[in-house]
Amino acid sequence: MKQQRPLTITGGQLVLPGEVRTGALRAVDGRIVEVGQFSPHDGDEVIDARGQLVAPGLVDLGVFAVDKPAFHFGGITRAALMPDQAPPLDHPARVQFLAYSGKPDFWVHPLAAATRGLEGNELAEVALMRDAGARGIATGRRWIADSGIMLRLLRYAAMLDMVVVSHAEDAGLTGNAVATAGDVATRLGLPSAPAQAEALAVARDIALAEIAGARLHLRQVTTQAALDLVRAAKARGVAVTAGVTPAHYMLSDLATAKFATFTRLSPPLRQESDRRAVIAAIADGTIDVIASGHDPRGPEDKRLPFADAEPGMAGAESLLAMVLSLVRDGVIDMPRAFALVAGNPARLLGVSAGRLAQDMEADIALVDPDKPWIISSDRMAASAGNTPFDGQPVQGRVTALYKGGVRVG
Beta bridge partners of 166: 218
Q: pLDDT tens digits for 321-336? A: 999 999 999 999 999 9
3-class SS at 55?
Answer: strand
For residue 244, tell me if it sits in a domain.
yes
Give the residue-averaged pLDDT of 166-183: 94
pTM of structure: 0.96
In a domain, 20, yes or no: no
Q: Where are the alpha helices (DSSP H) in 19-141?
A: 68-73, 92-99, 126-131
Mean of all residue pLDDT scores within the chain: 96
| pLDDT at 47 (0 to 100) | 97
User: Residue 24: inside a domain, yes or no?
Assistant: no
Whether a cis peptide bond, with omega within 30° of 0, leads into 305 is: no
pLDDT at position 111: 98
Please tell me the distance from the alpha carbon of residue 14 to that of residue 368, in angstroms, as a whole number: 12
- Render pLDDT for 92-146 as a digit per residue (tens, 0 to 9): 999 999 999 989 999 999 999 999 999 999 999 999 999 999 999 999 999 999 9
Domain count, the chain: 1
Residue 381's pLDDT band (cuts 50, 70, 90): confident
Residues 243-252 have pLDDT tens digits of 999 999 999 9
pLDDT band (50, 70, 90) for residue 4: confident
pLDDT at residue 236 above 90? yes
> Average pLDDT for residues 349-373, to the nearest whole number?
97
Rounded CA separation 280/261 (Å): 27
Q: Is the pLDDT of residue 1 over 80?
A: no
Q: CA angle, 167 as apex, 163 and 168 as ends, to 5°? A: 110
What is the DSSP pairing of strand 136-138 with strand 107-113?
parallel
Nearest to 399 by CA among 375, 371, 376: 371
Residue 336 CB: number of other CB atoms within 10 A? Answer: 19
Distance CA 282, CA 289 (A): 9
Q: Residue 378: its pLDDT value, please?
A: 85
CATH code where residue 208 lies: 3.20.20.140
In single-letter form, the type of residue at position 369 comes to P
**What pLDDT is recorded for position 383?**
77
Q: With respect to residue 13, please indicate whether it lies within any of the assigned structural domains.
A: no
pLDDT tens per residue across span 26-38: 999 999 999 999 9
Higher-scoring residue by pLDDT: 258, 186: 186
pLDDT of residue 261: 92
The answer to whether position 44 is within a domain reads no
What would the pLDDT profile of 272-324 be if each residue is shown by its tens digit?
A: 999 999 999 999 999 999 999 999 998 889 999 989 999 999 999 999 999 99
User: Partners of 137 in the beta sheet?
Assistant: 112, 164
Residue 333: the pLDDT is 98
Residue type, 322: M
Evaluate whether residue 30 is within a structural domain. no
Write down the pLDDT at residue 314: 93
- C-beta neighbour count of 370 within 10 angstroms: 11
pLDDT at residue 323, rounded to an integer = 98
Residue 390 — pLDDT band, cuts 50, 70, 90? very high
Neighbouring residues of 141: CB distance < 8 A, sequence distance ≥ 6: 82, 84, 118, 167, 266, 311
Q: Distance between CA atoms of 134 and 138, rounded to whole angstroms?
A: 10
**To 10 degrees, what angle do helices 272-284 and 224-235 make?**
20
* 3-state SS class at 103: coil
**Pairing mode, strands 19-28 and 7-16:** antiparallel
Residue 373 lies in a domain: no
**β 53-56/45-48 pair status:** unpaired
Q: Domain limits at 228?
A: 58-354+378-389
Counted residue by residue, the chain has a size of 409
> Rounded to an integer, what distance in angstroms lies between the CA atom of residue 118 and that of residue 82?
11
User: On the CB side of 389, how many CA atoms lie within 13 Å of its CA?
Assistant: 25
Least confident of 33-42, 217-226, 244-253, 345-354: 33-42
Q: What is the pLDDT of residues 175-214, one digit of tens each?
A: 999 999 999 999 999 999 999 999 999 999 999 999 999 9
Residue 363 located in a structural domain: no
Over residues 262-277, mean pLDDT? 96
Q: What is the pLDDT of residue 20?
A: 97
Contact indicator for 133, 78 with CB cutoff of 8 Å: no
- CA 133 vs CA 94, 99, 110: distances in Å: 10, 6, 7
Distance in angstroms (rounded) separating the CA atoms of residues 402 and 409: 7
pLDDT greater than 90 at residue 258: no
pLDDT at position 73 over 80: yes
